[in-house]
Amino acid sequence: MEDLKQYKDVWRQQEYKDLQVDENTLSQMIHRKSSSIVKWIFYISLIEFLVLTLINIFVKLDENETDLKQMGLGQFMNWITIIVGYIIPLFFIYLFYKNYKQISVTSTTKALIHSILKTRKTVMYYIITIVLAITITLLYSTYAILHSPEYAGLLADYSTNGELLLWGIVILFILAVDGLLLLFYFLLYGLLVRKLIFNYKELTKQ
């Protein structure tokens, strides 16, 4: 190949006669819906916030509060519900909105990609936080159950390896739930921002 410079003239001469769009069509075009990746990230993130918040609400509704109180978990569950159900989602929604508003198509390419990835990362941190909260709640509840006189007696009657069995079931359950949530997230995340991550690495490469 000869030098790229030689193509400068020919580049300027391009006319695209067959592709010209008239004012009328342009006028209609600019009012159509955008299909940008940012819009998808916004919708998917909102769905994730909603789904996880709904899971929190349903988990709370399904709890047998009397049983929890008997096990000494009433206070613990109240705090968990307030923190995981309200404080954490509100904090992350605020962060997400703040980052989302900073996305500007007129900034530099590097700054634009960085702000999109930052917005998406906020959702990733939210998911990790919820997954951790679910894990800690399940582990703590299991521990409390095993140490409550009523349930410990029941387990002892059921099997000699009752405690071990319960831990096994709980850990398997945690792994399955956490694994599914993380797999779903990384698939979605990977598909959406794979191109952006690649381009960002290209830009930051020295």
Partner 1 sequence: MTAELEKRFIKELEENQNIIHKVCKAYTTNRDDHNDLFQEISIQLWKAYDKFRGDSKFSTWMYRVALNTAISLYRKSKRSIKTGELYDNSKELIYEEYDDTTEVQLATLYKMIHQLNDIEKALVLLYLEDKSYREIALCLGISEVNARVKMNRTKTKLKKLVNP
Residues contributing to the site for partner 1 (CB under 8 A): 1, 3-4, 7-8, 10-11, 13-16, 19-23, 26-27, 29-30, 32, 34-38, 40, 104-113, 116, 195-196, 198-199, 202-203, 206
Cβ neighbours of residue 113 closer than 8 Å, sequence gap 6 or more? 196, 199, 200, 203
Closest by Cα among 145, 99, 146 to 125: 99
Smallest gap from Cβ 104 to partner 1, in A, equals 7
**Cβ-contact 101, 42 below 8 angstroms:** no
- Report the residue number, 107 or 161, with the smaller CB distance to partner 1: 107
Spatial distance between the Cα atoms of 155 and 141, rounded to a whole number of angstroms:
15
The minimum distance between CB 45 and partner 1, in angstroms, equals: 16
**Three-state secondary structure call for residue 102:** coil
Cα gap 130→88, rounded to integer Å? 9
Cβ distance to partner 1 smaller for residue 78 or 109: 109
Taking the CA of residue 130 as centre, how many other CA atoms within 13 Å lie in the half-sphere pointing to its CB? 30
Please report, for residues 1, 7, 11, 13, 179, the alpha-carbon distance to residue 4 in angstroms, rounded to integers and kept in the order given.
8, 6, 11, 15, 50
Q: With respect to partner 1, which residue has the nearer C-beta, 41 or 145?
A: 41
Q: How far apart are CA 52 and CA 131, in angstroms?
A: 10
Q: How far is the CB of 24 from partner 1 (least distance, A)?
A: 9
Element (H, E) at 118: helix 109-146
29/61 with CB nearer partner 1:
29
Q: Which is nearer to partner 1, 144 or 196 (CB)?
A: 196
Provide the minimum distance between the beta carbon of 78 and partner 1 in the complex, in angstroms, as a whole number: 44
Return the number of the residue (69 or 110) whose C-beta is nearest partner 1: 110
Smallest gap from Cβ 195 to partner 1, in A, equals 7
Query: Minimum Å distance from CB 109 to partner 1?
Result: 5
